[in-house]
Amino acid sequence: MTLSILLTHLTYHEAMRLIMSKNADAFFSWFASRSVRLTKQKLIWSARQDSEYMCPSFFSRFIKPRPHIVESPPPPSITHGAGMNIPEYKNKPYFIVGSVEMGNTTTKCILTGVSLETGMSYVINKTVSMSRDIRPPKPGETIFGATLDGTELTRESVTELVRDTLIKCHRDANLDIKDELDFVVRSTGVVAEMESPDQVGDFVISLANGCLIAGVPPRKMTPPMSKENQSQKLQPFSFADKVVFVGAVAGVIPPLGSTGVEMVANEMEGELAMAGIKEGAKWTPVDFRNPCVTIDFGTTLDGRITSDVPADAPNPFAKTVGNFCGLAGAIPDAIVRGTGLVHLRTGTALDIFGEHSVTGGLFSRGNQRVVDEYVKHCHEYIDICIVPPERNRFGRVPVNARIAKESGVAMIGCDCGENSSDLPRLIEIGAEIHKKYSLSTLNEVIDRVCTRMALRLVDVAVEEGLVLKNSSIGFTGRAAISGRKPEYILKGIIERNLFDDPNDHLVFVDDGLARGAALMGRCMNSLGKPKNPIGGVRGGPCIMSRRIKIGK
């Protein structure tokens, strides 16, 4: 029985509106008057079968799109009898990479295992400590920098923290640093008190020393010279005899200024975040390859915008056409410090709200007007724009804005006042919210403030012509993937009509730096996966053949 036969006097849309409403009884009374016996469930099924009247997008309008949020999956296990589960990375060929990162808020060692058979990455173990808990400088040690909250650092204290974190992470995972670890990548976001991008090198040396003291062999921290120099388990999966590593990670050439110096101090963080988001997107239906916009919302802001590459271009690598720098998680941290619930100097939003995303549920609409007013008030102090060429710092991050402009790279920055001068204003706003309203209202304000920051960054990229129809947008970092921020950011991207199917162009990835470290290690060792490529352009083939051609 089709709907076209049943609905003699009612149109399809009128009938369905009655079925889905509280007036369904009136609809069935109408049918009863015509001696038609039909249950509500059967009628709905009949409506779905009626191709003449059914609109394919009718039911989809009641379903809110869910953002693609990638959280670290555990590595698979192999069962050997009852109760005997052995991690797959113990028996099968895995490329195990240690990511050692000291940021302004946290210091992490994350062990990532890449299945060389499938190309998929898994987080084996994670050790996280607060950077503010680093030991204080000892007499005779030279303080060479500090975190954003003012925690002082020396080469010796950083080395010891990295050593202890690396050893603990391997011990907890029951892995041997010398024999089972394949590669280590070090990175840092502590750049606020550095005088220039060049000084970050001193910090990276401290990270390297910590790895060496922990027992990491030097050869596992640099690219191999040839395929023969790689371990026996890697050689069957390596293309090192066919391609040459030219510095491109995830199919992107890093930016280099006309003077040969980096344009922004945390350039490496942006590179790793981009690579990590590309790798994490492999767990979603999104084809997240070039061109792309990748944004890392850690305590400080970093990320990249990559170019499109024509299918017939002899050089298959994309160029870096945009960089992000400045403040990110430091802004919600300032709001939270005003509540008095965390330490005034070192407290973070993590301490109260955590770092996990939340989907579903509704925020009380009663306080929505209040939330909107506070969000607007906060953004009066937040400056998001192309970094002026005369600035050598933006959001306290050392930059070379003049070189960026001369090189044609858009440097998009986020600041609060000038070099975080207005962060105290946000502390005052946080204090006012906590005094007058609930903690849930404060949480909603923070989620909305971070959402507007993310969307304003995208808007600047759009104004610069850097977001194309085939671009993908990815976020990582606690200030973009925690709470309800992914849901709100997706809604904002949909409203901007940048893509035909916005949810197919947007991903949120946790542990972007660690994933990026694993991918950088693969790139340095030429461990590509042509059947599951990360390099190349969206919808295009693997670029391995063109790389081999260039090498010849």
Q: Give the model confidence (pLDDT) of 46-68 as tens digits.
A: 444 443 334 445 444 556 789 99
CB 233 within 8 A of CB 92: no
| pLDDT > 70? residue 7 | no
28 pLDDT higher than 60? no
Task: List pLDDT tens digits, range 456-479.
Answer: 999 999 999 999 999 999 999 999
Residues 6+ positions from 370 with CB-CB distance below 8 Å: 437, 441
Q: How many CA atoms lie within 13 A of 321 on its CB side?
A: 20
Q: What is d(CA 499, CA 549) in angstroms, rounded to the nearest whole number?
A: 34
pLDDT of residue 83: 65
Q: What is the residue whose two structure tokens read 């051609």?
A: 549
- The residue among 143, 144, 164 whose CA lies nearest residue 213 is 164
Work out the pLDDT band at 6, boundaries 50, 70, 90. very low
Flag whether pLDDT at 84 surpasses 50. Answer: yes
Alpha helices for 37-180 (secondary structure H): 40-49, 88-91, 155-173
**Residue 149: band (very low, low, confident or very high) from pLDDT cuts 50, 70, 90:** confident
Looking at residue 388, its amino acid is: P
Query: Which comes out higher in pLDDT, residue 82 or 425?
Result: 425
What's the confidence (pLDDT) of residue 27? 47
Q: What is the mean pLDDT of residues 106-112?
A: 93
Question: Residue 262 has what pLDDT?
Answer: 72
Measured CA to CA, the distance from residue 520 to residue 247 in angstroms comes to 10
Mean confidence (pLDDT) of the chain: 85
Percent residues over pLDDT 70 in the chain: 83
Paired tokens of 293: 């916009």
Look at residue 20 and tell me whether its pLDDT is greater than 80: no
pLDDT exceeds cutoff 80 at 450: yes
Coil/strand/helix, residue 290: strand
Give me 498's structure tokens: 């940048």
Rg of the Cα trace of the chain?
A: 26
**Local structure of residue 137 (DSSP, 8 states):** P
pLDDT the model gives residue 59: 47
Residue 448 contacts by C-beta under 8 Å, 6 or more apart in sequence? Answer: 371, 372, 375, 488
CA distance linking residue 124 with residue 322, whole number of Å: 33
Look up residue 199 and give its amino acid: Q
- Laid out side by side, the sheet with 121-130 consists of 121-130, 106-115, 94-102, 183-188
The pair of three-digit structure tokens given for residue 479, joined into one six-digit string: 């200030």
**Smallest Cα–Cα separation from 397: which of 445, 466, 459, 327?**
327
Written as six digits, the tokens of 527 are 């461990």
For 363, how many CA atoms within 13 A lie in the half-sphere containing its CB?
Answer: 23
**pTM as predicted:** 0.85
Count other Cβ atoms within 10 Å, centred on residue 459. 16
Q: For residue 378, how many C-alpha atoms fall within 13 Å in the half-sphere facing its CB? A: 29
HSE-CB of 362 using CA atoms within 13 angstroms:
6
DSSP assignment string, 399-446: B-HHHHHHTT-EEEEEEESSSSTTHHHHHHHHHHHHHHS-HHHHHHHH
Q: pLDDT tens digit string along 493-516? A: 999 999 999 999 999 999 899 999
